[in-house]
Chain A
Amino acid sequence: MDLFLLAEMGGRTVAIDADQVHSVVDIGEIIPVPRANPCVRGLVALRSRVVTVICTRIAMGLPVPKQAAKRAIITNIDGHFYAVLVDSLEDVAPFTRLPLMSGVLLEGGWRALGVGMIERDDEPVLIVDLSALIARQSLAA
């Protein structure tokens, strides 16, 4: 059993390995970064730390709601901190990590991010790898 954070991201529930979660915050004023990859919403200060804000919806090519998300998961990838915006947070709980079911075809942005599944109340939930999300976007940039 590993600990997972369940969050709603791009309109669906996903599970994030708690090891990747540094903290969960509501972010303040975002300073945009002109010319950066569109999924980079900007920079935000979390106390004395400046983090890069990543919009998951843009990163996965999903429509962006007018009311921008303010809640974010802070994650540290290769020594840099990122705030990954999520729609909402649901729960933190231990689950058994299951491999991706064979034959399941993830579409679009989800394909590169899904690394496994958990089952919550008989409902499968995709495990999303935040480092893959960041790496993918860094490459695209």
Chain B
Amino acid sequence: MDELLQEFIAETRETLEALAGEIVAWEAAPTDRARLDSIFRFVHTVKGSCGFLDLPRLERLSHAAEDTLAQVRDGTRVPDRQLVNAVLAIVDRIGELVEAIDAGAALDDSSEELLIAALSADAAPLASQAVQPAVHRAPSRSVRLGVDLLDRMMSGMSEMVLARNELARQLRNHSTLPGIEGALERLSQTVADMRDTVTRTRMQKIDALFSALPRMVRDTSAELEKQVMLTIEGSDVELDREMIELMRDPLVHIIRNALDHGIEPNAERQAAGKPAAGRLVVSARQSGNQILVEVRDDGRGIDVERLAAKACKLGIKTAAETAAMSPLAKLELAFHPGLSSRDTVTAISGRGVGMDVVRANIEQIGGRIVLTNRRGQGLTVSIQVPLTLSIIPAIIVAAGNQRFALARQAVEEIVTTRGAAVRIDNVGDTSIATVRGRRLAVVSLDKLLGLGDSEPRTLAIVNTRDGEYALAIDEVLDTEELVVKPASPMVMATGIYAGKTLPDTGLPMLLLDSAGVAAVAGLTFHNGAVDFAEVEADEAVQEQRWSALLFDDVDGRRRAVPLPAVDRVEAVEASAIQAVGGRLRIVIDGASVAIHTMAALPQKGEINMLRLADGVSVVGYAIAEPVEIVSLPAGFVAAQGGGMIAGVVMVEGQQIELVDVHALFAEIETTIPTKATCLLHGDQSGWMATFLRPALEAAGYHCVSELVPGERVQVALAMEDADAATIPVAAPVVRLTTSPQRRGDGSVYRYDRVSLLGAIAETLAGAA
């Protein structure tokens, strides 16, 4: 607390010095709104800090002055000479008290009642100020230094470290002088200690901002007769002292607001079905190149309509204007000077100042303040300030042959993929890691950064605000405390870095932003692996279970198929399966049934086949062995890349691919058993041969790029821009477009496989 008090004194002293000019100017022109506002902000800030630091006398004085000034701001009082004098007397008194506190001297409070009384409208003019009491100004034990100076000191320090490293390298190569190693060792030690000290001059744990909060919340809520549970989610991240100091006042204001306006009285909370004790969560976190400080309460939130109505009443906005405002814009009114959603004034907060002051303070340091209002549920105030400088405990990882840093705070654990507890499965075109039964999406750092494509050897399980994922890296090299600075905009534009640092190697290194990496890699935590874990945990969803048949597929993998789709499992002679019409078929009950298989089938012996039926058609699916029928929770992880796999389900801790029966039937249905010949016309780029041809051939078509004599072409495919006159045959033409927009001229988007095949089939049907 002593440190806080010292800071309060230093700050008040400084503001008073800056305010001296304003006071004189206000005295000369009491109607000057800007001057009034700055004096008002001063007493308001002092009031806030006093409550925080338990300085009741100062608080009473500043509260009284604030009241009066608020009346002037509202226009209910005119700032006459007497009022100005009274306010100035209080400002002077605040200065004296602050000096007295600093000096540890007592100052008698006899005149304070008089000063406060003099503020009232009907007070007798204040007797001209008595002789100024002797100021007890103690020699201060703290000094204020320019940030520039500290910066120079810090960069000098880093240079010293680099020079030491260089010296050590040189000595290792050349010197055999006795004693030199010991001397170097001592130098190293001194440099290390020195660096620590110098760093501390500039950095402070964010804890310094939070340590006083429990007491403040306790006292304030007791005063308000509310019960409040405070949770502080702090971090080890050290910040620029400058930022911490600049954030202190805004944070105090916001917390007071939350306690006073946000959290309802116990009775009201109970009526609303909330727990009697309000919850207040204060958290700090580094996110990308920003520090995010959040104050979240579960109170009543802001009544935006009331706020808008009040803005009308005070003439800030007209009724027409507020009617046209979006809820968000109305919420923004909370930042308007002189406007509060609260009608009564209390000692805690609530004169509608605060939020405008808070915003001004935050914006002054290049930050932003965002309100997230949940009406009746609470309010979240997020302060985002730029990360100018921070010390972050980091893990140094290798990807390709480059080193990157990863904030240790974000890393939950590091596992090696060789361990038994970890398995990586390729599902569609992505990988999913299973770490002790927990499934996580895998992001390969090598691949993401284009630094190679090696098998992941190590997984760092990374925490982001939205969820967790496994970051595949080559190896973990080291852990180190890094001084991180913001990188240039061009580097930040990649979205995956949080800053840059210069470790002792003398080679720059980038700090990865784990949330940014997830975003750039395209991870979404809503329908991915992470969400699935939640589905499993959710009791309500457990009821909606469905049955699946588990089987071993012919390619050796275990898969599942929805049970209702299975008509029966039967054994068929391998020799009865024939490749006809472009795919494997078997005659069952006099009808030709297509068989899908994941691998080549043996030529002889018996083959197990699932007979799948959708009520109209029948499709065969070759399997090795049926295993069992299992009951599964609703939901699965959708596969990427499509194919015959719909997604992944968990069966007893195993990841099982779920066969996409829809795709199976869809494929069979669009298969044209008659082998029509397609002409791929005007395929200069080779796109048709590379992309389209396999798709068409898979669907049973025969494709030619050029007209071969003697071959009959049933349908021609051409890109939209091809000249119809150049098409050498009289066959009907299907046009392909490169844009997904529907044109209505019968042309088909070239990647819309279903429509494309449909269009060809239709064209063929029309021609026949």
Contacts and interface: CB of A to CB of B under 8 A. Distances in A.
Nearest to A32: B402
Contacts of B506: 45
Interface in B392-428: 402
B500 interface: yes
A128 to B, nearest CB: 18
Given A43-B500, A48-B158, A31 B509 contact: yes
B450 A35 contact: yes
A6 to B, nearest CB: 26
Nearest to A33: B491
Contacts of B744: none
Interface residues of chain A: helix, strand, loop or mixed (majority):
mixed
Contact of B449 (A31, A34, A43): A34
A31 B490 contact: no
Nearest to A42: B508
B162 A43 contact: no
A64 B734 CA distance: 45
Contacts of A78: 489
Interface residues of B, number: 31
A36 B502 contact: no
B155 A82 contact: no
B489 A138 contact: yes
Contacts of A134: 490
Contacts of B508: 31, 43-45, 50
A69 B671 CA distance: 59
Contacts of A33: 491, 494, 497, 510
Contacts of B510: 31, 33, 43
Interface centre among A29, A48, A80, A138, by most chain B C-beta atoms within 10 angstroms, is A48
A40 B502 contact: no
Contact of B502 (A34, A39, A50, A81): A50
A45 B494 contact: no
Contacts of B491: 33, 36, 40, 43, 52
Interface residues of A, number: 27
Contacts of A44: 508
Interface in A102-134: 134
B155 A141 contact: no
Contacts of B451: 34
Contacts of B155: 47-49
Contacts of B450: 34-35
A46 to B, nearest CB: 10
A82 B487 CA distance: 11
A48 B509 contact: no
A79 to B, nearest CB: 9
B485 interface: yes
Contact of A82 (B162, B449, B488, B507): B488
Interface of A: 29, 31-37, 39-40, 43-45, 47-50, 52, 54, 78, 80-82, 134, 137-138, 141
The 10 closest A-B pairs by CB, nearest first: A34-B449, A48-B158, A141-B493, A43-B508, A80-B488, A52-B488, A35-B494, A50-B508, A48-B159, A48-B155
17 contacts: A31-B508, A34-B450, A35-B520, A37-B490, A43-B491, A43-B510, A45-B162, A45-B508, A48-B156, A50-B501, A52-B488, A52-B490, A52-B491, A80-B488, A82-B488, A138-B493, A141-B494
